Structure 1
């Protein structure tokens, strides 16, 4: 077991790579009452085309299968795993993103039993044709529920307008039609390829003894047999740099229109710290100009173009990146026109030394406050680890950012050809 100290934030991480390839990270916080564990596989909704374990030819599986698999792992032949956690006084959950599937629990007691339950149920799949067919009805209802949510449709509508072919444009849960094609064999194919321990990370944070917990996990893994670690070959379609559409819209039963500007980020050839620095610059600039205390926010708000639903987000991943700004607007055409003008103006504006220093201080403060959350540490440490970044190195990276770097980033950041607008309009 390796012990890594991060003195600048007074944290110590214990890590070990198990013989089967599973990467385990432990953060001992004796002052905490609860313990949080998350077991994550480097496999999400975009991983649709790949070469299965032990095969020579690639396959393309139905859209939404990663999310479907997440649901099915909780159901065993004789029970529902959620009940196992409930009996142990734990709260359990799971989620699927574009790039990851994660299973988690939070508890204040029976920690070792909960860790065993978490690891064992994920590493012991059970799928039957009957249960798969039953699940299709459940997930179809979930998909229809999200299809009725204007914010969700606006989010995926914007991404769908940005991307030509990349599967990030597909809803994480798939479609009602696509999940009908999922079979038991498909689930086992995806599971055996992507749920090998070598493609997974276990992070446990909280009131634990690191030495004892690592020995416990090590023994658990040594008692199981896995095939040799596969080399996972994923394939993604070639994606143009430009946005798929310059604008698009749908009609829904909304009283107030929703409007969004989306921007396709250039992530090709970015990895590790380069990717992190770009993400930090994008986030800091969005906050500086468009947060409630931002330079442009008040003009949009006082002009009646936005309300308090206005928000922004930027996501930079291993195969894609996007930035989205928007919300409700009673004059969506005027709002989108003004917002795009503001974004293009960023390239011409100069950020003063004191403003830049203030941006960095704010980012550092947000990061340090977030470290008070076990969930934040465990989730983000896992996320960044899969991108080749250490979460606890983020602080020194923020501190090392230079204004000249940000200016160079801005020059290449906002391009009209990589932008789209999307509206959710009231039904006529």
Structure 2
């Protein structure tokens, strides 16, 4: 077990890659009353076309299968896993994103028992034809519920406007039609391909003894057998640089129109230092312009184009990236034109040393505050690990960023062909 101490932030991380390929991260925080665990597979909704383990031909599975599989893993032949966690005083949950599926719990006691429950239920699939058919109705209702949510439709509508071929433009849950095609055999194929320990990480943070916890996990894994796994071959379609649609209009019964401007950031496969620098600069620059202290926010607010619903978010993942800037607005066309005008103006701007140093300090301050959250630490460590980045390298990387790098990023950041607008209105 590798032990690494980060003196600047007073954290100690224990890491080990087990014989079966599972990577374990333990981050003890004895001052905390709670412990949080997350078991993550490098498999999300975009992984639709791949070569199944032990086979040589690629297949394409129905849309929404990763999310469907997440649901089904909680249901066993003779019991429900949520009930098991409840008896042990734990709160459990799971989520599927575009790139990963994660199972998690938090608890203040019976920690080792809850860790075993987490590992065991994820590594013990049980799917029957009857239960699969039943689940189609449940998830179908969930899909229909999201179809009626303007915020979700605004998000997915902007994604669809930006990405033409990349499967990020498909709803994580799929469609009622696509999930109707899912079979028990499809679930087992996806499970045994992507839920191999070699493709997974287990991260535990909170109040526990790291040596005892690692011994528990190693003993648990040594008692199970897994086939040897080669690298998974996944296939993504070519994605053009420009957006799929410059304008996307969705009609829904909303009292005030919603408008979102999307920036198609990247669809290239990057990792390591290159990924981290782009991720940081993208986040820092969007925040610089659109946070409440930012010049763009102030201009939009003074012109009464936004209200309290205004938001911005930016994401960079292993093979795509996007930024969203949106708000309820009585004048959605004026709002989107103004945001695009402001974004295009950044090509002629340069940041000052003073501004950039302030941006770096703000980013570090937020990161240090977030590190008080067990959920943040475990989720982010896992997220960055998939892209070959160590979460604890972020602060030194921010400190080392140069003004020239930021201004070069700013110069290349915005191109009109990579801007898309999604508007939701009753008209």
**Shorter-chain TM-score tier:** over 0.9
State the alpha-carbon separation in 1 of the partners of residues 320 and 26 from structure 2: 30
CA contact (8 A) 1:20 1:229 kept: no
Return the TM-score normalized by structure 2.
Answer: 0.99
- Greater shift after overlay, 290-299 or 246-255? 290-299
Q: Which residue of 2 aligns with 1:307?
A: 307
1:104-115 matches, within 5 Å, as 104-115=104-115
CA contact (8 A) 2:350 2:410 kept: no
CA contact (8 A) 2:43 2:100 kept: yes
Q: Which residue of 2 aligns with 1:389?
A: 389
Runs of 4+ in 1 over 6 A off after TM superposition: none
Structure 1, gaps ≥5 residues long = none
1:274-285 matches, within 5 Å, as 274-285=274-285
Once the two structures are superposed, residues 229-272 of structure 1 have per-residue CA deviations (whole angstroms, 9 ceiling, x without a partner) of 23200000011111111111110010000011111112525321
Does 2:68 align with 1:36? no
State the alpha-carbon separation in 2 of the partners of residues 403 and 270 from structure 1: 22
Does 2:212 align with 1:212? yes
Does 2:265 align with 1:265? yes
State the alpha-carbon separation in 2 of the partners of residues 14 and 280 from structure 1: 25
**Cα distance, 1:302 vs. partner?**
2.1
Once the two structures are superposed, residues 3-32 of structure 1 have per-residue CA deviations (whole angstroms, 9 ceiling, x without a partner) of 111122111100111110000010111111
State the alpha-carbon separation in 2 of the partners of residues 41 and 332 from structure 1: 40
**Cα distance, 1:215 vs. partner?**
0.4
1:83-98 matches, within 5 Å, as 83-98=83-98
- Greater shift after overlay, 229-238 or 184-193? 229-238
1:154-169 matches, within 5 Å, as 154-169=154-169
Q: Which residue of 1 aligns with 2:402?
A: 402
Number of aligned residues: 427
Could you say what secondary structure the match of 1:228 adopts? coil
Q: Which residue of 2 aligns with 1:7?
A: 7
**Cα distance, 1:383 vs. partner?**
0.5
Q: Which residue of 2 aligns with 1:367?
A: 367
- For the aligned residue pairs, the C-alpha RMSD in angstroms reads 0.8
Once the two structures are superposed, residues 308-353 of structure 1 have per-residue CA deviations (whole angstroms, 9 ceiling, x without a partner) of 1111111111111111111211100100011100001112122221
**Cα distance, 1:277 vs. partner?**
1.0
Structure 2, gaps ≥5 residues long = none
- Greater shift after overlay, 128-137 or 295-304? 295-304
Q: Which residue of 2 aligns with 1:329?
A: 329
Q: Which residue of 2 aligns with 1:238?
A: 238
State the alpha-carbon separation in 2 of the partners of residues 350 and 268 from structure 1: 26
Return the TM-score normalized by structure 1.
Answer: 0.99
Once the two structures are superposed, residues 77-133 of structure 1 have per-residue CA deviations (whole angstroms, 9 ceiling, x without a partner) of 011100000000000000000000000000000001000000000000000000000
Q: Which residue of 2 aligns with 1:380?
A: 380
